[in-house]
Amino acid sequence: MAREPRWDRVLTSAARLFAEDGFAATSVRAVAERARLTKAGLYYHIKEKEDLLFRICEHSIQSILDGARAALAAESDPAARLKALIRNHCGFFFRHPHNLTVLNRDMGALTGAQREEIRALEMAYLDLVRGVFRDGQKRGRLKKLDPTAAAFALLGVLNSFDRWYDPAGAVTPDALVEHVETIFLDGVAEERRK
Amino acid sequence: MAREPRWDRVLTSAARLFAEDGFAATSVRAVAERARLTKAGLYYHIKEKEDLLFRICEHSIQSILDGARAALAAESDPAARLKALIRNHCGFFFRHPHNLTVLNRDMGALTGAQREEIRALEMAYLDLVRGVFRDGQKRGRLKKLDPTAAAFALLGVLNSFDRWYDPAGAVTPDALVEHVETIFLDGVAEERRK
């Protein structure tokens, strides 16, 4: 019953510590202390530290993927679908800023079956993003760019927020979402180049 | 006389090994072997492994910065200046794909004065990119977006190539540059949204 909320707290604590100190430098004991568990209590949930990294990555990508699927189900217009993807991905970052740092920097420490599982989730998300570009192109509403290059360009913007964005700074979260929508959909030039 | 070419080979060998195996897992001995030097010969150039990482980061950012300054000196039109920045940054990546991986993933291992020096170079480059957005906005040619958000969005795209781009794949290097120019300057929507 109380297991799920406590497990959420474990993952949130672990993501924060991994983001701040790095995966390699963080001990299971430090995660247990932050999550207000004994080390033995934490080892009830996991076999080794890599399991925490795996669960953070899995939870993050699965959440972004589930959110994107739900958002896309509600939109049929290609521009609106692209905006829905942007809004969903940004929303996850605003709620879980540390998770993005862990995904960007520490995911490479996963091995074997865990690595494969995370790669499959990443690929599912990439396919979803590419599909939005492809579909919009077929319908004549988006420019005929390579869907993989377009998808990775968008993901490059969205996955770099943890390197610089401060929600207490000059750009509010809502304004950040609007910036990405404007840049991606309309470009930064005042008039379109010929 | 022969010192400079040999030192270039050391940095190229080190960047390749760091990119492939990670900075932590690469030994000075492995770098020396790859660069066809003795370990003692390599230690003539450096005091410790971190010095190689520092020199790779310094050389990379300084090269991008020098190239950008030279390219901007030749252009006055705001859209052409933004294109010149994109072309210069992409060009460095095409010539030194491993360096981008090292910058993205391993730069955090630098400490003290070396870290500060690299941060100062990064900040100089960021200021240059922001300046291009700011200047284009003042002249009414670029949209009034937050220059920092716009600059980091562009750098997010340019610095993520090493995660996915394969020059032997469907998108040629020239086409990749054109994709980034189109997305950034004109956006992906066929018609501008109101």
How many CA within 13 A on the CB side of residue A25? Answer: 11
Helix (H, G, I), strand (E, B) or coil at A77: coil
Question: Tens-digit pLDDT profile for chain B (194 aa)?
Answer: 444 568 888 999 999 999 999 898 999 999 999 999 999 989 988 999 999 999 999 999 999 999 999 999 999 999 999 999 999 999 999 999 999 999 988 898 899 999 999 999 999 999 999 999 999 999 999 999 999 999 999 999 999 999 999 999 999 999 999 999 999 999 999 887 76
A-B contacts at Cβ under 8 angstroms: 140
Yes or no: is domain B48-186 CATH 1.10.357.10?
yes
Which of B183, B185, B191, B193 to substitute to test the interface with A, most A CBs within 10 Å?
Answer: B183
Average pLDDT of chain A, as a whole number: 93
The full set of domain ranges for chain A reads: 48-186
Cβ-Cβ contacts under 8 Å, B77 against chain A:
none
**Which of A121, B97, B52, B185 has its CA nearest to residue A129?**
A121
Contact present, A34 and A17 (Cβ < 8 Å): yes
pLDDT of residue B1: 40
pLDDT of residue A139: 96
Note the ipTM here. Answer: 0.92
pLDDT of residue A8: 84
CA distance A46 to A43: 5
pLDDT of residue A1: 40
> What are the phi and psi torsion angles at A109 (to 5°)?
-80, -10
Smallest Cα distance from B112 to chain A, Å: 17
Under the banding of pLDDT at 50, 70 and 90, the label for residue A194 is low
A 10 A CB-CB count for B70 gives 11
Which has the higher per-residue pLDDT, A95 or B2? Answer: A95
Side chain identity, residue B101: T
* Identity of the residue in A105, A140, A152 whose CB atom sits nearest the CB atom of B190: A140
Q: DSSP secondary-structure letter at B110?
A: -
Residue in chain A lying closest to B155 (CA) = A157
- Tell me the two tokens of residue B110: 């630098």
Contact present, B69 and B128 (Cβ < 8 Å): yes
CA distance A25 to A181: 37
* Identity of the residue in A146, A158, A188 whose CB atom sits nearest the CB atom of B150: A188
Q: DSSP secondary-structure letter at A185?
A: I
CA distance A143 to A156: 19
Side chain identity, residue B175: A
**Which of A25, B96, B112 has its CA nearest to residue B104?**
B96
pLDDT in tens, A16-73: 999 999 898 999 999 999 999 999 989 988 999 999 999 999 999 999 999 999 999 9
CA distance A168 to B33: 49
The share of chain A scoring above pLDDT 70, in percent, equals 97
CA distance B162 to B169: 13
CA distance B179 to B193: 20
Cβ-Cβ contacts under 8 Å, A149 against chain B:
171, 175-176, 179
